[in-house]
Amino acid sequence: MNVLDVLKSPASRVPTPLECPLEIVDLPAPDKVLIPLEYPGQILFWPLVQVGDEVACNQVIGRSERNNFIHASISGKVVELKTMWAARSFHVPAVVIEKSDAPPLAGDELLRQCNIDPQSPTRVDLLRAAGVISPWTTPGRDDSEEDMADYPDIQHIVIKGVNQEPTICSFRVLLRTRSKEIQQALVRLSEIVPKARVKLAVSQTDADWAADAFADLAHVVPLPNDFRNRIERQYVRRLTGVKVPNNASYRSGGVAVISVEQLLDMYDALEGRPCILKTVTITSSRDFKPVTVRTAVGTSLGDLLASQGLVVEDGDRVIMGGPMSGTAQFTLDTPLSKFQAGIHVLKAQDIIADVNFICVNCGRCTRACPVNLQIHLIGRCVEFDQLTQAQTYHPEACIDCGLCAYVCPAHRPLLQMVKMASNYRG
């Protein structure tokens, strides 16, 4: 099955996950990286370097007010500090580094540069020094750091061994190719949060293998091979039995949800290795074999796609994330941050329409919506600039699955409309 079949699947009107090769291609360090000094909507780093500075790979180049750190993912010279478009269409500050042959920082130096005593680092010290923010301490999109004091202890941990987006395979590929490290990471996890129940969500295809590989370390839960069963908010609720409102963080309900990649990043951090690499699946709607690569954080989309011989032509859309709920990119200079797991190139001939067609009242969007939103009404309110009215239909409950837009015969940008209504602060 190719990518187009996955997205069109007319029989069920629900996309089926793509099967990718179970291997990771390691890319050489790019000649230049652009490191965004931002974690989407949460933590802004202040640069600790200036233009002209020579930096080593793994060197801290930014620090947040909460004492989290971000690192150079290659050795080289800082050639620019500028603002740029990040993957989710925020304009953020960034450090641009051009490659040199200098050796990476290693050993105790990694901790000393963060003013941490290498003789007695705590777990939190190690995570922060490695640029990993633990899910136990990170507030969600509507929570502040102060809210944390009222949160219950972590009772459930759900580890994502499959991606929600049908064209992204990176979590599954990591699960299959780094299973030994994941086993060790699960042991460490049980030491950190001994009372939590750990569930590992895997693809149906991996169920038997995973049950053997992770027996005694996690309760393996296979997710059926269709998109609806992989919508994260839905299956997390099913697996834990905890009803966290869709616009609140899991953490506020005593639940932590991490991907296998974040689990491995935490493990690496506790072993003293900073988080400077990212694993990402690249797909295209035409003539391209899906591939999962590992590359330096800060690699530009242009360099990443060129490394795979994927040519972006006029009219093509490059989507960070997947086609169901990813974000079309404004420029190929956008760098990979720690938060993207997939890139999808939608070729011009596969883009159905650029216009906002009229709603035909078919009701498919509302029937498809897993959280039962009246999306056709929200869409119409947004269309006619009645954003206050749109908010009475609770667009904030949307879980970003993209199904409404996928099934709409008028090809209306419903997810964007729902987001517009949800974000309106009139």
Residue ranges in contact with ligand SF4 by CB under 6 A: 359-365, 368-371, 373, 375-376, 379, 398-404, 407-410, 412, 414-415, 418
**Please, what is the minimum distance in Å from the beta carbon of residue 14 to ligand SF4?**
11
Nearer of residues 189 and 369 to ligand SF4, judged by Cβ: 369
**Please, what is the minimum distance in Å from the beta carbon of residue 196 to ligand SF4?**
28
Nearer of residues 211 and 407 to ligand SF4, judged by Cβ: 407
Residues 6+ apart with CB under 8 A from 73: 29, 33, 35, 57, 276, 277, 296, 297, 298
| Helices and strands in the chain, H and E counts | 14, 18
**Please, what is the minimum distance in Å from the beta carbon of residue 18 to ligand SF4?**
20
**Please, what is the minimum distance in Å from the beta carbon of residue 242 to ligand SF4?**
19
**Please, what is the minimum distance in Å from the beta carbon of residue 173 to ligand SF4?**
26
Tokens matching residue 236: 């997390």
| Residue written as token pair 């035409």 | 286
Nearer of residues 22 and 407 to ligand SF4, judged by Cβ: 407
Over its C-alpha atoms, the chain yields an Rg (Å, rounded) of: 21
Nearer of residues 187 and 355 to ligand SF4, judged by Cβ: 355
CB 328 within 8 A of CB 319: yes
H, E, C per residue of 136-202: CCCCCCCCCHHHHHHCCCCCEEEEECCCCCCCCCHHHHHHHHCHHHHHHHHHHHHHHCCCCEEEEEE
Other CB atoms within 10 Å distance of the CB of residue 182: 26
Nearer of residues 302 and 370 to ligand SF4, judged by Cβ: 370
Nearer of residues 67 and 89 to ligand SF4, judged by Cβ: 89
**Please, what is the minimum distance in Å from the beta carbon of residue 240 to ligand SF4?**
19
CB 209 within 8 A of CB 182: no
Distance CA 404, CA 415 (A): 7
Cite the DSSP H helix spans in 289-410: 301-307, 364-368, 375-383, 387-391, 403-407
**Please, what is the minimum distance in Å from the beta carbon of residue 382 to ligand SF4?**
11
CB 38 within 8 A of CB 44: yes
Nearer of residues 17 and 413 to ligand SF4, judged by Cβ: 413
Give the three-class secondary structure for 240. Answer: helix
Nearer of residues 290 and 402 to ligand SF4, judged by Cβ: 402
**Please, what is the minimum distance in Å from the beta carbon of residue 228 to ligand SF4?**
10
Tell me how far CA of residue 292 lies from CA of 18, 21, 168, 169, 324, in angstroms: 12, 8, 9, 7, 19
